[in-house]
Amino acid sequence: MNYKIICEEIDSKYLSISALFENVNKNSQTIQLPAWRPGRYEIQNFAQFIRKVQAFSSEGSPLEMKKVSKDSWSVQTAGNEKIRIEYEFYADIQNAGGSYIDKKFFYLNPINCLVYIEEKQNEACELEIEFKHNKDVACGLTHVKNKNSTHFKASSFHDLVDSPIMISDKIQHQSYEASGCTFHIWIKGNTEIQFEQLIEDFKKFTEEQINIFGEFPEPEYHFMLWLMPTAFYHGVEHRNSTMMTLGPISQPFEEFYTEILSLASHELFHTWNVKRIRPIELMPYDYSRENYFETCFVAEGLTTFYGDWILFRSNAFSQDQFTKEFEATLRRHFENADTASESLLQSSYDLWLDGYKKGIPDRKVSVYHKGAIAALILHHEIQMATKNTKGLDDIMKSLWDKHGKPFIGYSLKDYIEICEDIAGVGLSHYFEKIIAGSESIWDETQAALSHIGFKLSKSREGYARLAPQLKS
């Protein structure tokens, strides 16, 4: 599957896209556009952003094409083994998961706009983008720049659509080495970057994360940051990169600094947890429909906890910074959802229903916030069971060795077995109350925080407060 994107009428925000499919051996071939993107577990219906979909033979003869669902089409191939699909895509979404173009900047999430044939997803793919301001290209794919275009190569459709692309005539770039791997930092935004301090802190949390797992899954990694004109905080994980958006750019860089570290540490942890240590229900991704799974509290909750905890452990965060950031997580749960009726298991499954919007009162919990607190409590449970000799790091290393590195996916049962094996005791009380239950977890949280040197309390107004615990 080979693709070409031409950016001609930039003011209109429409991209002209051509998709060439070879070795087609069906008289009636289904063409699919993704309905969602990994990292955001909700249907987004990308087909609403395309128009003028047509099919042709390789010689340019029109082929009969009929829409058969909201985002799939049936093409009558008329015996042609090569068919070309042409259409236009509207690129005007400014966030980490969308696609956007203006006269000097082009940002693409290929998952938004590239059609595919299901049985060809594991074949090598190529993408050519014509955009004259292609002086700087940030992407995890192998690519070659020409005067007015860039040519990208991917080992499969899965890798192609998991590789965001920034193209501009001005992207700031620095890199550093950690454990034999190269890490790139790309920043789009006209602001003065304190790269020396940034690289020092990025290297700290990078090496701390690698120490947990013993290795990094990729030879190179790309932190891609787009500084926005308005207030923003958004990040998306990818196989060997992350796209992050922060704003407003009018702020001094030092006011972004804590957010940059927190977001980058979270997204880097996803390189292991989700991109490789993946729920078995997502093996492989089915981009055409919902992929339900109960373990998003592992995928996102553990990652949320580890993001700031790693920064604290590596001294990239001070104690005050960690206290402030984790207090925000605690408050979001205890002030909004501690008495919600759904468990973490139920809310993981229901991400596809309403996981990214406020929803009705006292119904769901956040797999990010309660999931992070559940990770802290699990660490405490294992520490108590092993007399402080093991903890959450051992669980992550075991998940990596048994499921991530061999890339075979894990089930809820697998996760429970690993946790109990590390603890050396049964953990049914933890999984029944914290993961499958809907009772308040205040007491368990207080005990877990006390164990790592912090105290949780409530203010007179009922707000959750976190502070370092003074030792007598």
Domains of the chain listed by start with CATH number: 2-168 (2.60.40.3650), 172-269 (1.10.390.10), 280-468 (1.10.390.10)
Q: Distance between CA atoms of 367 and 42, rounded to whole angstroms?
A: 14
Q: Distance between CA atoms of 158 and 121, rounded to whole angstroms?
A: 7
How far is the CA of 264 from the CAs of 106, 112, 267, 316, in angstroms?
22, 23, 5, 12
**Tell me: the pLDDT tens digits for 257-270?**
999 999 999 999 99
How far is the CA of 267 from the CAs of 18, 300, 341, in angstroms?
32, 10, 30
Position 254 confidence tier, pLDDT thresholds 50, 70, 90: confident
Position 463 confidence tier, pLDDT thresholds 50, 70, 90: confident
Position 213 confidence tier, pLDDT thresholds 50, 70, 90: very high
* pLDDT at position 470: 58
* pLDDT at position 255: 86
Give the pLDDT mean for 445-460: 91
Position 134 confidence tier, pLDDT thresholds 50, 70, 90: confident
Give the pLDDT mean for 414-429: 98
User: Three-class SS of residue 31?
Assistant: strand
Q: Distance between CA atoms of 277 and 414, rounded to whole angstroms?
A: 12
**Tell me: the pLDDT tens digits for 189-205?**
988 899 999 999 999 99
Per the listing, tokens 């109960």 go with 294
pLDDT at 294 over 50: yes
Please check whether residue 303 is in contact with residue 270, taking contact to mean a CB–CB distance below 8 angstroms. yes
Residue 282 has a CB neighbour count (10 Å cut-off) of 17
Question: Please, what is the average pLDDT of the chain?
Answer: 96
Position 460 confidence tier, pLDDT thresholds 50, 70, 90: confident
Q: Report the side by side order of strands in the sheet with 220-227.
A: 172-178, 181-188, 220-227, 241-247, 232-237
Give the pLDDT mean for 331-359: 95
Q: Distance between CA atoms of 382 and 388, rounded to whole angstroms?
A: 8
Position 472 confidence tier, pLDDT thresholds 50, 70, 90: very low
Q: Distance between CA atoms of 309 and 160, rounded to whole angstroms?
A: 32
Position 228 confidence tier, pLDDT thresholds 50, 70, 90: very high
pLDDT at 471 over 60: no
DSSP 354-379: HTTS--STTS---TTHHHHHHHHHHH
Q: What is the pTM of this model?
A: 0.96
